[in-house]
Amino acid sequence: MRTSRTVLSRRRPAGAAPGRLRAGLAAAGALALLALSGGPSRALDAGVRVAVPMPVAEKAYRSAKDALRAGVREYNAGDKQGAARALEYAAGQGHALALWKLGRMYAEGDGVPHDDLKAFEFFSRIADASTDEGPDPQNAAVTGSAFTALGTYFLEGIKGTYVRPNAERAYDMFNYAASYYGDPNAQYNLARLYLDGNGVDADPRQAARWFNLAAEKGHRPAQALLGDMLVNGSGVQPQRVRGLMWLSLAREGVEGRKDDWIVALYDKNWAVASADDRAEAQAQLQTVGSIRRRN
């Protein structure tokens, strides 16, 4: 696989601090979360980057789309090694969805050896292919997800590789994906950076703004943290009823032990709320549910 060189070159998302997007970042993809390079600068020095070779598919396909279809078919049938070979062919032709799927497979160790650096490189190719003319409608979700993944990799780094933790680069990636692609995971992660003052000056109002955008798209962690901020007036004007409504919405969507913290946050705030605030929050929640069912 070739090494990513440029990504964010001439673009600066709304709200980005001047000079933040310096010169080629490296890229990453979604769900497993990775990283990339961009702007008139480079997030990673190309001189120290090690290209991950693109595996050669054993089978020829008529086109990248044909290989992608075969890869999806084989993946769904349980032949993940065969799926990886087909997707590698499509990825070699620059097919964004194939690159994204392979990135996720390597990030999760799903049918292939777990390899965050390989995932990073696959996602970086998606980011490199993005244009200055705005999101490509066909690949917008995939591209936004790749930038978001990149942000996570820059935030945490990839141990034993040239991908070092870099909170400012993480901010760049999340801000770009959140602003240009409306990616809810990026909006949530960007809000966390503003909330914690990590890679950017702490700004609770900005945190609440980005949490709200993600929350409106059904992002449960964003709903929970926004609700807690509003109930307690943490750096924002208190809105107890609205905060309880968001916490209740997050609580309704809980999925397993990984969301135990949402349940705890809900229980803590609900226990000290007045009966009137609880009743009004439930009424707002029913209104929101009715609107969503109609839409």
* CATH of residue 282: 1.25.40.10
Domain boundary among 152, 182, 212: 182
Q: Are residues 270 and 131 in the same domain?
A: no
pLDDT for 22-32, tens place per residue? Answer: 223 333 333 33
Domain boundary among 182, 203, 225: 182
Q: Are residues 201 and 136 in the same domain?
A: no
Q: For the range 256-259, what are the long-range contacts, defined as Cβ-Cβ under 8 Å and sequence gap of 24 or more?
A: 259/220
pLDDT for 147-196, tens place per residue? Answer: 999 999 999 999 999 999 999 999 999 999 999 999 999 999 999 999 99
238-260 average pLDDT score: 95
Q: Are residues 119 and 204 in the same domain?
A: no
Q: Are residues 27 and 63 in the same domain?
A: yes
User: Which parts of 77-183 fold into alpha helices (H)?
Assistant: 80-92, 96-108, 116-129, 140-156, 167-180
Q: Are residues 152 and 265 in the same domain?
A: no
Q: Are residues 167 and 206 in the same domain?
A: no
Q: Are residues 39 and 130 in the same domain?
A: yes
Does the pLDDT of residue 233 top 70, yes or no? Answer: yes
The token duo for 83 is 């799926």
Taking the CA atoms of residue 50, residue 51, residue 52 and residue 57 in that order, the dihedral angle to the nearest 10 degrees is -160
User: What is the distance between the alpha carbons of residues 247 and 167, in angstroms, rounded to a whole number?
Assistant: 28
Domain boundary among 141, 157, 182: 182
User: What is the distance between the alpha carbons of residues 36 and 149, in angstroms, rounded to a whole number?
Assistant: 9
Q: What is the pTM of this model?
A: 0.78
pLDDT of residue 291: 55
Mean of all residue pLDDT scores within the chain: 82
pLDDT of residue 15: 44
Which domain range does residue 204 map to?
A: 184-295
Question: Could you give the angle at the alpha carbon of 191 between the alpha carbons of 187 and 195, nearest 5°?
Answer: 175
244-260 average pLDDT score: 95
Q: Who wins on pLDDT, 3 or 198?
A: 198
Q: How many domains does the chain have?
A: 2
Q: Are residues 227 and 141 in the same domain?
A: no
pLDDT for 81-93, tens place per residue? Answer: 999 999 999 999 9
How far, in Å, are 91, 95, 119, 240 from residue 56 at the CA level? 10, 15, 16, 57
Q: Are residues 55 and 175 in the same domain?
A: yes
